[in-house]
Amino acid sequence: MLYLRKMKFSEEELNKLKTEYDGYLWTAIDIHRGIITAGDEYLADLRDFLLMKRSKPEDILCAGLNLETGEIFYPVLINRRNPYVKKDGIPDVFRERVDTLMRYFFEYIPNYQEERNRPRYSNKPTPLSFN
């Protein structure tokens, strides 16, 4: 099921997503408008859905979210379509905005709200990165 949201996910929806996607969820976020799409297996489909809803390509970032720990992963290839993303990675301003939006949308993830000062994104390269 594909979700397009400006509101928080409820606990029931999170439990449904955990069982349906085995605890790992792909998301695409419009960081300017504060809209998230989640619940598809392909990041390109999530990104295209936001583009159909009149989001600008430079405002869209894709991220993976571990629903058990709240850790955020940034795939390299799909985010390279954003003109502001360079070869060395996603700018920290975008990471902070995505982290803030993820905390808002996925408030009911256990232990996700406790450590606000610790960044939840991973600096490890993904297997598909060519850096």
On the 0-12 / 13-18 / 19+ scale of CB atoms within 10 A, 51 is middle
Cα–Cα–Cα angle for 77, 87, 40, rounded to 5 degrees:
20
Q: List the chain domain ranges.
A: 3-105
Written as tens digits, the pLDDT of the chain (131 aa) is 788 888 888 888 888 888 888 888 899 999 899 999 988 888 888 989 999 999 998 888 888 888 888 888 887 667 777 777 777 677 778 888 888 888 888 887 765 554 444 445 555 444 433 33
